[in-house]
Amino acid sequence: MDHAGLITDFIDNGIECYIFDNQVNAIEDMEKTIKKNDTAYEAIKKDKLKIIKIEDSRKTLKSLGIDGEAIITGSHSTDSVTFILDTHEAIIGDLAPREQIMEDDEETQNSWKRIIDKGVKHIYPSHAGVFEI
């Protein structure tokens, strides 16, 4: 909700907006939750979103002048992704910090492993300060 709530404003201002195929089905649930507390919320214009496959992220980002890719890091929710730039930086969204992961949380452990295996050094979380790994 806090990552996608302004999409309609972007679309209304002529900004092209993309969504990954693993995120499309999450819109409806997100909007139901938002509408409970915000009756003025405007629904996302799904027909205006450009849907791309996660495995095509590098090609799509390259066409936008961005050297990097997105990977699914679904431990927070199945629609979560991490953006990884070739400059060894990553935007991780709501992925739990490594020091807070329970030993039996294999999904989160695996998400971090995939990020580290890509050579990422600088992490940009959605709700915390930048840190290095």
Which domain CATH number covers 75?
3.60.15.10
Residues 109 and 61 in one domain: yes
What pTM, to 2 d.p., does this model score?
0.85
In the predicted model, is pLDDT for residue 2 greater than 80?
no
Residues 47 and 111 in one domain: no
Across the range 81-107, mean pLDDT stands at 92
Residue 1 has a pLDDT of 54
- In the three-class reduction of DSSP (H, G, I as helix; E, B as strand; rest coil), residue 40 is classed as coil
- Confidence band for 97, pLDDT divided at 50, 70 and 90: confident
Q: Can you give the residue range of the structural domain that contains 26?
A: 1-52
- Confidence band for 85, pLDDT divided at 50, 70 and 90: very high
Total domains present in the chain: 2
What digits encode the pLDDT tens for the residues 20-39? 999 998 898 888 888 888 88
The residue among 18, 92, 29, 30 whose CA lies nearest residue 59 is 18
Across the range 52-63, mean pLDDT stands at 97
Which residues have C-beta within 8 Å of that of residue 101, sequence separation ≥ 6? 108, 109, 112
More confident residue, 68 or 97: 68
In the predicted model, is pLDDT for residue 15 greater than 90?
yes
